[in-house]
Structures are given as structure tokens and as C-alpha cells.
Amino acid sequence: MKTILVVNSKGGCGKTTLATNLAVAFARRGDAVALADADRQKSSIAWVKRRDKSKPGIVSLNWSKVENIGEDKNKDLDVIVIDGPGGLRSELAKTLIAEASEIVVPVLPSVFDWDATFKFLDAISELKRVRKGKAEIHLVANRVNRRSTQIADLEDELAKRGYPVLCRIADRVVYAKHAAHGEGIFDFADASSRDMRSQWHTLLQALD
Ligand SMILES: Nc1ncnc2c1ncn2[C@@H]1O[C@H](COP(=O)(O)OP(=O)(O)O)[C@@H](O)[C@H]1O
Ligand SMILES: [Mg+2]
């Protein structure tokens, strides 16, 4: 079983968007998937409730309280995607990372977010599990706008610090639309959104 933690100390950087879309990507290829919500806002739990029964099912786990983390995992699952909380106290980070084999960190191009993200990456890199390579960090640039020039600078800065960015996910309103219906972009196979789906391929490959 693979456990993927989507996390960043910043709120609003796309943790729930990435977690739900990753869950759909794995469910669509036939994996037994659970989406564990570790955020008090419980956005992922609400997303699963909105998901239509006709779509590939995703099990919902409530890990929003520290004492419930790790609960209700079962051997039949292939993948658990954890939607991490906004703002991570170090104990909670350790508890969640202890569950994870992969750590996905969404970052926004906005310059205001950089320092918090660098600090966060340095903090989780210090954890023994990450140092020993038992949990690998994957960076994803999210809400990338074609006109944004900041993203290249951010990627340079991150690469210099030893954190290469795996892929760029575009800023598209369709992500919010799908979220409202308990869906993700991998629920659709239309040609017009093929480019959007292909932006996820390097991440999905790295998680395999
Ligand atoms: N790639 C994207 N394109 C457009 N909107 C996005 C994208 N990623 C996230 N959003 C929007 O940004 C807001 C915050 O995203 P969310 O996934 O809820 O972040 P977090 O869980 O980190 O707080 C939401 O309204 C979401 O729909
Ligand atoms: Mg969220």
C-alpha cells in the first residue's frame, strides 16, 4: 500500500485540489483508494459525500483529529491519499509523515509564499524518515498562469535548495467546478482537457 501525504504549511495552495485529483487518478485506473482528511475543515470528507455513486468509489477516512490518524486503514487498500492540514505544528507533521511513503507539496508561484515554503521544506527534510529516504518529497507548482514569470524564478530558487519542481499545474476554474461535484479532472476523458491531464503525468509517474 502506498500512502501519499499532500501537505504544505500554507493554506490555500491546493492541498485539497491535489489530494482529490490524485485520489480520482488512482481510482480511475482501478486501485482501491481512500482519501484521509487530516484537516479540521474536512473539505475532502465533504468532497467524497458529493461524489456521485456512478463514479469510481473513494473511501473517506476522518483523520482530522490527531488521535484518529492512521485509523480505519485496511489491507485491501492500494492507495491512501492524505489531505493535510493548513499550518503544521511539528508534532502533527511527524505523525502524518510517519504514515506517508510519499509527500506531495503544492507551491504557489506568488512570491509571498516562498519563505514559508522554504522553511517548511527544510523542516520536513530534517525528519528522520525523510532523511532516510523512507518518505520522498515531490514538489508541484500549482495555479501556474501562462503569463506568470515568477514561476521560473521560484523553480530556480527551489532547485538551488535541492528541491526540484516536478510539474506545473495550470490555474483553471474547472478545478473548482469539479470540486463542487465531488469530481476530478481524471473523471473525464474529453480531448479538450487532455493537456490539463498531461500536466499531472510526471507526478503520477513519480508516485508509482
Ligand atoms: N490549479 C488550480 N486552478 C484553479 N483554482 C485552483 C487550483 N488549485 C486550487 N484552486 C482553488 O484555490 C482554492 C484553494 O485550493 P485548495 O485545494 O482548497 O487549497 P488548500 O486545501 O491548500 O487550502 C480553491 O478555491 C481551489 O478551487
Ligand atoms: Mg484544504
Task: Give the total residue count for the chain.
Answer: 208
Q: In what order do the strands lie in the sheet with 136-144?
A: 59-62, 33-37, 79-86, 2-8, 102-107, 136-144, 165-170
Q: What is the mean pLDDT of residues 55-70?
A: 95
For residue range 145-172, list pLDDT tens digits in order.
Answer: 988 788 999 999 999 999 999 999 999 9
Contact at 8 Å (CB) between 137 and 164? no
- Span 119-145, pLDDT tens digits: 999 999 999 999 999 999 999 999 999
Per-residue pLDDT, 178: 98
What residue type is assigned to position 71 of the chain? E
Q: What is the DSSP letter of 57?
A: P
Q: What's the average model confidence in pLDDT over 96-100?
A: 94
Structural domain that includes position 152? 2-206
Q: How far apart are CA 154 and CA 54, in angstroms?
A: 40
- Give me the residues near ligand 2 (ion), CB cutoff below 5 Å: 15-16, 43
pTM for the predicted model, two decimal places = 0.97
In this structure, what C-alpha cell is assigned to residue 178? 469539479
User: For residue 110, what is the domain's CATH number?
Assistant: 3.40.50.300
Alpha-carbon gap, residue 114 to 62, rounded angstroms: 30
Q: Which residue has the higher pLDDT, 150 or 174?
A: 174
Residue 160, pLDDT score: 95
- The residue type found at 175 is Y
Q: Residue 158's Cα: distance from chain center in Å? A: 18
Overall number of domains in the chain:
1
User: Whose C-alpha lies nearest to ligand 1, atom 27?
Assistant: 176
Q: Which amino acid is at 86?
A: G
The CA 85 to ligand 2 mean position distance, Å, reads 7
Testing ligand 1's pocket by substitution, the residue of 7, 17, 168, 178 carrying the most ligand atoms inside 8 A of its CB is: 17
pLDDT confidence of residue 179: 98
Ligand 1 atom 10 nearest Cα: 14
pLDDT at 64: 92
Q: Could you give the C-alpha distances from 118 to 39, 42, 107, 138, 162, in angstroms and in order?
A: 22, 26, 10, 14, 11
